[in-house]
Amino acid sequence: MQVRELTKAEEEIMRVLWKLDKAFVKDVLAELPDDPKPAYNTVSTIIRILEKKGLVGYTAYGKTHEYYPLITEEQYKRFQTEQLMSNYFDNSLQKLVSFFVKDRNLSLKEADELIQLINRKKES
């Protein structure tokens, strides 16, 4: 399955589907913020776009559809991270990590946790 870039609205819908696992349009709508609450038809249209992109599947119950994600949130995070590295850091993990270390002013605790994570990865 090819993961693609999502619009902000599509990503918001996918986050709800990842959270709920499967849902009807009304369930997705209930999880979205009220300021302003999107229209039912808007949510339904976005879900159908996600379905056409191959990111959402459904089970039909007569005229009603229960939707579910076809990609995991982890798969999308991986895709987004790869895009970020490719577009801004010359595909270099070192440049990416270095940027975040400098930009976020990592605390000693966070730096230590990062080093421990790297060491565990080396051992496996």
pLDDT at 85: 85
Judge if 77 and 116 occupy the same domain.
yes
Condensed to tens digits (0 to 9), the pLDDT of residues 54-102 reads: 999 999 999 999 999 999 999 999 888 888 888 988 988 788 878 877 8
In this structure, the answer to whether residues 78 and 38 fall within a common structural domain is no
Q: How far apart (Å, rounded) are the C-alpha atoms in residues 94 and 112?
A: 17
Q: Are residues 25 and 50 in the same domain?
A: yes
Same domain, 65 and 77: no
Residue 21 lies in a domain: yes
Instruction: Please check the confidence at residue 3 and state whether its pLDDT lies above 70.
Output: yes
106 in any annotated domain = yes
Of 69, 92, 107, the domain-final residue:
69
Q: How many domains does the chain have?
A: 2
Q: Same structural domain for residues 13 and 60? A: yes
Residue 3 falls inside a structural domain? no
For range 111-123, the mean pLDDT: 80
Distance CA 68, CA 51 (A): 9
- Same-domain pairing of 14 and 60: yes
pLDDT category at 1 given cuts 50, 70, 90 is low
pTM for the model: 0.78
pLDDT > 90: percent of the chain: 53
